[in-house]
């Protein structure tokens, strides 16, 4: 009798299974090599704008009791003042933590006040420039809390006290105004503030890297000539022979411990030799985000320079260019300096600075 196709296939299948079983019993099958897929390393996402680079809080740096003791009155948290200029925002650009307390908010220039700033990335050069500058004038006294830590007080009764310290990765600057305390009481209060803030900052990890805008980004300057030369002032706004009278250095630096210089934040003022007409230029690379918040409804558009530009009511020309903030202003004092001339100067400064 003929076998059916199904019977034949069934017999073959059984034979194959038996054959494979015999092979498995006689010699184990070789393991199949597999390659583990590497776990991807998480990529840190950079913030869209500069952020504070100090991982602590104002309340941790100074308790309410210490603040009130130093100020000689009950002080409340107040908003630090800033000038509406590029370098006025250099501390924020560098991620500085700034804390301020006063009897009122906003603070009154004549009322008691305490402020403390923790400066990530502070340098030895910037720290020593502060110590020897006009605000302190090397009249500070070493503190026992650690190396490179100092306190000072001026006046009798005391009108101003302060402290400053340089630690790995950070600087600390603090000032107390208007407490009218006795020298001993003022010295004790400011020493307590330094001890508290020094202890907190010394325990911090290294600060995060400085935020940087995507390329192309406007470069900064470190000298007045880096912004514009006196010859270029003559070519663009018709200035006669002129000289630099102020710049972002020493007591005129707008950033704590000159930290803004690390990103090229800088400003300069020139005055004509035979008159009182002056012009100022300031730049903050990566500072365009601050300019957006400062613009008022009464700003007047200025086409043809940067990605956006406007005239503020006070006569300042503010420009967004490659993520940076550039500002130009003139005090003509009888000299005819037109908007067109200041725009020409702004274009020259942009060309001088270049981009990354």
Residue 97 lies in a domain: yes
Residue 104 lies in a domain: yes
Task: Give Cβ neighbours of residue 333 (< 8 Å, ≥ 6 apart).
Answer: 275, 276, 277, 278
- The whole-number pLDDT of residue 36 equals 46
Residue 218's nearest CA partner among 51, 50, 351 is 351
Dist. CA 150–CA 162, nearest whole Å: 8
Q: Tally DSSP H helices, then E strands, for the chain.
A: 10, 14
Q: Does 195 share its domain with 278?
A: no
Q: Does 185 share its domain with 269?
A: no
Q: Looking at 202, 232, 247, which one is the last position of a domain?
A: 202
CB atoms within 10 A of CB 211: 17
Domain range for 247 is: 224-353
Q: Looking at 168, 202, 236, which one is the last position of a domain?
A: 202
Q: Does 144 share its domain with 278?
A: no
Q: Does 261 share its domain with 345?
A: yes
Cβ-contact 151, 180 below 8 angstroms = no
Which residue in this structure is represented by tokens 């935020």? Answer: 211
Residue 179 lies in a domain: yes
Q: Does 321 share its domain with 258?
A: yes
Q: Does 272 share its domain with 137?
A: no
Q: pLDDT tens, position by position, for the chain (356 residues)?
A: 333 333 333 333 333 333 333 333 344 444 444 444 454 444 455 667 899 999 999 999 999 999 999 999 999 999 888 889 999 999 999 999 999 999 988 888 788 999 999 999 999 999 999 998 877 877 899 999 999 999 999 887 888 999 999 999 999 999 999 877 888 999 999 999 999 999 999 999 999 999 999 999 999 999 999 999 999 999 999 999 999 999 998 778 899 999 999 999 999 999 999 888 999 999 999 999 999 888 888 999 999 999 999 999 999 999 999 999 999 999 988 788 999 999 999 999 999 999 99
Q: Does 194 share its domain with 232?
A: no
Query: Where residue 255 sits, what CATH number does that domain have?
Result: 3.40.1000
Residue 137 lies in a domain: yes
294-299 long-range contacts (CB < 8 A, ≥24 apart) are 294/84, 294/318
- The whole-number pLDDT of residue 333 equals 83
- The whole-number pLDDT of residue 113 equals 94
Residue 315 lies in a domain: yes
Q: Does 197 share its domain with 228?
A: no
Q: Does 244 share its domain with 129?
A: no
Cα dihedral value 281, 285, 286, 290, nearest 10: -20
Buried-exposed string 46-82: b where 16+ CB fall within 10 A, e elsewhere: eeebbebbbebebeebbeeebbbbbbbbebeebeeeb
Residue 53 lies in a domain: no
- The whole-number pLDDT of residue 230 equals 97
Instruction: Using alpha carbons only, give the angle 36, 38, 42 rounded to the nearest 5 degrees.
Output: 155
Dist. CA 324–CA 286, nearest whole Å: 4
Residue 130 lies in a domain: yes
Number of domains the chain is built from? 2
Which residue in this structure is represented by tokens 């037109």? Answer: 338
Which residue in this structure is represented by tokens 């325990």? Answer: 203
Question: What residues are paired with 99 via a beta bridge?
Answer: 116
Residue 209 lies in a domain: no
Which residue in this structure is represented by tokens 């991807």? Answer: 40
Question: Hey, what are 347's tokens?
Answer: 């274009």
Task: Give Cβ neighbours of residue 345 (< 8 Å, ≥ 6 apart).
Answer: 228, 232, 233, 236, 237, 279, 281, 328
Q: Looking at 172, 202, 232, which one is the last position of a domain?
A: 202
- The whole-number pLDDT of residue 304 equals 97
- The whole-number pLDDT of residue 29 equals 45
- The whole-number pLDDT of residue 136 equals 85
Q: Does 175 share its domain with 269?
A: no
Q: Does 190 share its domain with 291?
A: no
By DSSP bridging, strand 278-284 and strand 149-154 are: unpaired
- The whole-number pLDDT of residue 308 equals 96
Q: Does 229 share its domain with 322?
A: yes
């Amino acid at each position: 009798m003929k076998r059916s196709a199904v019977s034949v296939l069934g017999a073959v299948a059984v034979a194959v299974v038996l054959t494979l079983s015999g092979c498995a019993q006689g010699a184990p099958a070789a393991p199949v090599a597999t390659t583990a897929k590497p776990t991807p390393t998480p990529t840190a996402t950079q913030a869209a704008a500069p952020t504070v680079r100090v991982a602590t809080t104002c309340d941790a740096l100074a308790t309410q009791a210490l603040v009130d003791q130093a100020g000689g009155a009950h002080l409340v948290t107040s908003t630090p003042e800033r000038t509406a200029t590029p370098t006025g925002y250099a501390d924020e650009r560098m991620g500085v933590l700034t804390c301020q307390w006063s009897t009122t908010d906003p603070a009154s220039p004549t009322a008691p006040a305490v402020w403390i700033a923790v400066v990530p990335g502070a340098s030895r050069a910037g720290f020593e420039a502060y110590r020897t500058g006009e605000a302190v004038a090397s009249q500070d006294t070493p503190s026992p809390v650690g190396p490179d830590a100092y306190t000072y007080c001026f006046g009798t009764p005391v009108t101003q006290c302060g402290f400053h310290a340089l630690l790995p990765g950070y600087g600390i600057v603090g000032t107390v105004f208007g407490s009218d305390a006795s020298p001993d009481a003022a010295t004790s209060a400011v020493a307590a503030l330094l001890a508290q803030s020094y202890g907190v900052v010394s325990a911090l990890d290294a600060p995060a890297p400085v935020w940087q805008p995507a390329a192309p980004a406007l470069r900064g300057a470190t000298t007045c000539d880096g912004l514009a030369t006196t010859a270029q002032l003559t070519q663009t706004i018709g200035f006669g022979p002129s000289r630099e009278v102020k710049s972002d250095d020493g007591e005129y630096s707008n950033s704590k411990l000159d930290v803004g210089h690390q990103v090229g934040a800088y400003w300069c003022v020139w005055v004509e030799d035979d008159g009182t007409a002056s012009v100022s230029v300031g730049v903050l690379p990566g500072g365009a985000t601050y300019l957006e918040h400062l613009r008022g409804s009464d700003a007047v558009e200025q086409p043809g320079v940067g990605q956006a530009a406007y005239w503020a009511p006070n006569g300042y020309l503010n420009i967004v260019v490659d993520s940076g903030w550039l500002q130009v202003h003139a005090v003509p004092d009888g000299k005819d300096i037109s908007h067109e001339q200041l725009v020409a100067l702004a274009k020259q400064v942009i060309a001088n600075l270049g981009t990354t």
